[in-house]
Structure 1
Amino acid sequence: MIPAKSLEQRKRPWLPRRSIGVLTLVVLAVAAYLQRVPLLVPLIYAAMSLIAFFAYGLDKSAARTDRWRTQESTLHLFELLGGWPGALIAQGSFRHKTRKLSFQLSFWLIVAVNLGVLIWLIHGGQIDRIHWPAVRF
């Protein structure tokens, strides 16, 4: 008989999705506090992350009960618009969309593109040229 602890360890994912998602949102909030990015940036990421998280949750629920599913392109759109940290948290929380290779490839490509654009905007000084609404701490 296999000890319960061994079974539990086998089920643990190798990628701490929830931790990475939460850490990303915290880093963005700290960057805004330190005035490295406008406050609207972490607010957009947080709002889109909430939307993505709930979309994943609804899709997982629909998958279990044979109801209408959220299109993968819709989930990817939420991720692209800044909701990928929430999508990552949802993937870890619901164990949803973590095994489908084509989905994961698209997901990580979206994360890379999103981070690449954000880094380019910050380091290239482009983020300062965007006319952000005045939101302050």
Structure 2
Amino acid sequence: MIPVTDALSIDDDEISITYIRAGGPGGQNVNKVSSAAQLRFDVRNSPSLNGRAKERLERIAGARLTKDGVIVITANRFRTQEANRRDAVDRLVELIAAAAHQPKFRVPTKPSRAAKQKRVEEKVKRGTTKKLRSLRPNDD
């Protein structure tokens, strides 16, 4: 089990990790060893997530989501398979945690009449101050 939040965790069977060749540092070894981790997580068929979390996760995933609803995360920051595997899993956990957090419902409000009046008065006062700065006494 991979813990995401206090109330949510995903099963290890829900993710699949394959290793692919990665560019970057590694010298001659880079062309021989498959150290980059490619993680796949099927959002639509996941029993761990509820409907709203799945919708938010698909929206948040963006280009990482395939047409079939599978999130693909490629991690090649590190030289070792284990470090890249941990990095990919951590990035998936961050995505799922962000999707699991339900945003607070915001009731749109309008400024009160007094607030509008105060804003206009402050603007007039500021404009008057600026106008007084530019006025110069006449040298008659």
In the superposition, the TM-score normalised over structure 2's length comes to 0.30
| Larger helix fraction of residues | 1
Name whichever structure is richer in strand by fraction: 2
| Structure with greater contact order relative to length (CA < 8 Å, sep ≥ 6) | 1
